Structure 1
Amino acid sequence: MILAAIPQTSTWSFSVALVMILANLFAIAVGRFAIKSPGVGPDLPVNKPGLWRNFGIPELLATASLGHILGAGMILGLSNAGVL
């Protein structure tokens, strides 16, 4: 009975990784333009192009966290639908 309630998840594959990478890139792109006060915290220790001038560690952590939440939801949904 309990095993029937556990959703079917897919094992790691290139398509699962691609979904997670695309979800993170989407979240970073949206966060780059949606964060109201960028550049308040510490800066990233790498050279960045001018477009990413005010994109620091707090922005990276926030957008990557959102990207992982979106990616996990997409992977679970797509694997439950049988696509992955």
Structure 2
Amino acid sequence: MPTYEYKREDGTTFEVIQKMSDDPLTTCPETGQKVKRIISGGGGVVYKGDGFYVTDYKNGGRSNGSAKPESSDSKPAKGSG
């Protein structure tokens, strides 16, 4: 269930875990003040584990099983550039 942030009349804020289908609160359950739901930037992206770089680009986009050693003919020719 998502967490929604509300702002009380006095300017203080609090968070409530609600179902998406629940109606927004109109009063604070603790103080009884009128409240307005704040549209926040969201939770953002959470990366877990060793990281995006290590799992997806460790071998230049190739999977571990298909990594080929570089051959000597992949070097630029003399006099170019």
Q: Normalising to structure 2: TM-score of the pair?
A: 0.23
Decide which structure has greater strand share: 2
Please report the TM-score for the alignment, with normalisation by the length of structure 1: 0.22
Q: Which structure's residues are more often helix, by fraction?
A: 1
Task: Say which structure, 1 or 2, has more relative contact order (CA 8 Å, 6+ apart).
Answer: 1
Larger-Rg structure: 2
